[in-house]
Amino acid sequence: MFDAALAAAVTRAGPEIGATEQGHVEQGHIKQTEILKDLFEGHYESATTVAQAFEGAVLGIGVAEAVDGEIVAFDDTVWRVPVDGIPVLAEPALGLPFSVVALGGTEVSKSVAAGTDFTGLTTLIDEILKAAGQHDHHAVAAVRVDGTFTGVVLRSEPRQQRPYRPLIEVLDHEVQFPFDTWSGTLVGFRFPDVSDQVVIPGLHLHGIGADRRSGGHCHRAVTVSATLRVWIDDVDIFVPMTGVHYGM
């Protein structure tokens, strides 16, 4: 289902116009490059770079060009997690076909009860948004969870070669990294529960281990001891025009 109200928040910008040049992105915004539909159709060419996408970011996630690793950003550092699951620093010039970046906002911090899974975490985030008067069908929040977890499953994917396959076929060959116990940082976003082909629905988190030796997209995790940080504020989504590549 295409959510017209959420799509109305999308600002269509020419590919040569970055957020800084537009002058409208202030702290408290979430900036997305490209839409989910294009990624799932197999458009893995660069739409932005690490340097462009993550300038001034509090946190962010993304996918490397040619699906050559999951992207994780926080604490002024951007990592790429390739198919072996071992994070490496992402080069500033690395191309990204898709990224979502938080640029600040009002921060709320809460301890998370032991035994909280992603469903419980989503409920907690929604309670924070509701308390702030911002919980509705179009609310978006940037999320960071630091702590120790059990039953963790991370994943990455092999680099793709042209002609690119649709993402659903790529994910059939994903490589998973299970951990009975794992300590680290999970970052990402809580988007509305809508399948509008624009944003990633629900809670979507990427992680980096505390020892910086593991990471990737996080399929699941259950808290042992963790702190949740949520940034809430108004949202703008910037999607560059890329001709036939643009799928709105």
Give yes or no on whether 4-103+236-245 and 106-232 have one common fold.
yes
Domain 4-103+236-245, CATH among 3.40.190.10, 3.30.530.20, 2.40.160.40, 3.30.1330.80: 3.30.1330.80
Q: What is the CATH number of domain 106-232?
A: 3.30.1330.80
26, pLDDT greater than 60:
no
Helix (H) or strand (E) holding 10: strand 10-13
Per residue in 96-152, pLDDT tens?
999 999 998 889 999 999 999 999 999 999 999 888 877 666 678 999 999 999 999
pLDDT mean over 71-98? 98
Instruction: Count CA atoms closer than 13 A to 199's CA, side-chain side.
Output: 33
Domains in the chain: boundaries: 4-103+236-245, 106-232
Q: What mean pLDDT, rounded, does the chain reach?
A: 86
Neighbours of 89 (CB within 10 A): 12
* pTM score above 0.85: yes
- Tokens 């036939």, located at residue: 244
